[in-house]
Amino acid sequence: MTSSFSLGAIVASALTLATCDAPGTTASTPSVSSGAAPFTVTTLVSGLATPWDLVWAPDSVIWVSERGGTISRVDPKTGSRAVAGRLTVRESGESGLMGIALHPDFAHQPFVYAMHSYGAADGSTINRLVRMRWDGSTLGAPTVLLDGILGGSIHNGSRLAFGPDRMLYATTGDAGATVHAQDRSSINGKILRLDADGHAAPANPFGDMIWSFGHRNPQGLVFHPTTGVLYETEHGPSDNDEINIISRGANYGWPDVHGKCDDDSGNERAFCSAHSVVEPLWTWTPTIAPTGADFYMSDRIAGWRGSLLFTALSGALYRATLSADGKSITNVEKMLAGDYGRLRDVLVGPNGEIYVATSNRDGRGSPNSGDDRILKLTPK
């Protein structure tokens, strides 16, 4: 991610996008295609336990979180793996150690941020944001930056991404209680915007931590490297998984709206009109459970520059082609379908290689020998 964008640019782009998504409109349906993969697949590292997030570091290693609490560093050339630290977490259902992010000035402020679940005194599951200092060989003790995010065995969100404004964006799920998503007094079912110390960032739309609301279980979060626009993947219930552009202060409709404002789930058009709901770029019914996302900005694969890549727990890697203005999707390509089981995250390296984390040991998959693993996709 570059750091040359200002908050003003992000806000201006968000407001423009919000006005383009008029409630009740229905975009044309682009095509979905499958073709021969333009890359070879190898296993970079195996024997992992539910890897959740992959992050490229300035020293050209991959930081990896595993849901049981382990944070490691992996050499993308050799697959050599070194444990950097471990957090005490509650791993139950979908909870545990989830998203991680590196401080945008990691070389001088070597902080690693993480979202994880823990067991509260009353037995409930709570999620929190912590920060640890990297001393070059190990992670220090975690400092809690934000606590009290309701968690559970489902819908924890917890993807982290620093924006070009150097603020930290964090997703939270509704924790299985749909009422939280539209309640702006709750930080669940939201995308939060925080400063590097975990406080509400300046110029947030409601004067608190909330950047957007009306979310069910946001799983992927990535800024476009040149425009600074924020894209998100989100799990629907049994219908309407989504890809969204995230706009400042916008309402994404859950639980009153599933996907678009088309009345396929109750009186959605009326709610959208009354609450200025922003519609997704794309939806899936039946659902695919989209997860981590990244942009492909290399020329090593012809025609891929500017594509949005994302994984899905249904067992595929997807490539979405965006329109010239980035406000719509013109085509979606499906790859690796069923070949490696459940897929949790995707990372694009600076040289155009692609790294994909499997999630077959998460309690819902069928692990093979060597699972879980990080796959390396090398352009042909």
Q: How many domains does the chain have?
A: 1
Tens of pLDDT, residue by residue over 164-210, are 999 999 999 999 999 999 999 999 999 999 999 999 999 999 999 99
pLDDT at position 58: 97
How many Cα atoms are found within 13 Å in the side-chain-facing hemisphere of 183? Answer: 10
pLDDT at position 35: 67
Instruction: Please report which helix (H) or strand (E) contains residue 105, including its range.
Output: none
Q: pLDDT grade, residue 36 (50/70/90)?
A: confident
Q: At residue 12, does pLDDT exceed 70?
A: no
Rounded to two decimals, the pTM is 0.93
In a domain, 2, yes or no: no
Q: pLDDT grade, residue 17 (50/70/90)?
A: very low
In a domain, 29, yes or no: no
In a domain, 127, yes or no: yes
In a domain, 308, yes or no: yes
Q: Report the CATH number that the domain containing residue 193 is assigned in CATH.
A: 2.120.10.30
104: helix, coil or strand? coil
Q: pLDDT grade, residue 6 (50/70/90)?
A: very low
Tens of pLDDT, residue by residue over 290-299, are 999 999 999 9
Yes or no: say if 50 and 96 are a contact pair by the CB < 8 Å rule: yes
In a domain, 250, yes or no: yes
pLDDT at position 28: 40
Yes or no: say if 37 and 19 are a contact pair by the CB < 8 Å rule: no
Q: At residue 11, does pLDDT exceed 90?
A: no
Place of tokens 């991404």: 161
Whole-angstrom CA distances from 219 to 95, 171, 234, 242, 291 are 13, 7, 5, 10, 5
In a domain, 248, yes or no: yes
pLDDT at position 118: 98
Strand order in 70-74's β-sheet? 51-56, 62-66, 70-74, 81-86
Q: At residue 37, does pLDDT exceed 50?
A: yes
Average pLDDT, stretch 216-237?
98
Q: pLDDT grade, residue 13 (50/70/90)?
A: very low
Q: At residue 19, does pLDDT exceed 50?
A: no
Please state, for a pLDDT cut of 90, what percent of the chain lies above it.
90
Q: Which residues does residue 117 pair with via DSSP β-bridges, in sequence order? A: 127
Q: At residue 4, does pLDDT exceed 60?
A: no
In a domain, 1, yes or no: no
Yes or no: say if 161 and 192 are a contact pair by the CB < 8 Å rule: no
Residue 89 sits in which domain range?
A: 7-24+34-379
Contacts of 33 (CB under 8 A, 6+ apart): 331, 332, 333, 334
In a domain, 108, yes or no: yes
Yes or no: say if 59 and 76 are a contact pair by the CB < 8 Å rule: no
Tens of pLDDT, residue by residue over 230-240, are 999 999 999 99
Mean of per-residue pLDDT scores for the chain: 93
Q: pLDDT grade, residue 31 (50/70/90)?
A: low
92: helix, coil or strand? coil
* Higher local confidence (pLDDT), 26 or 82: 82
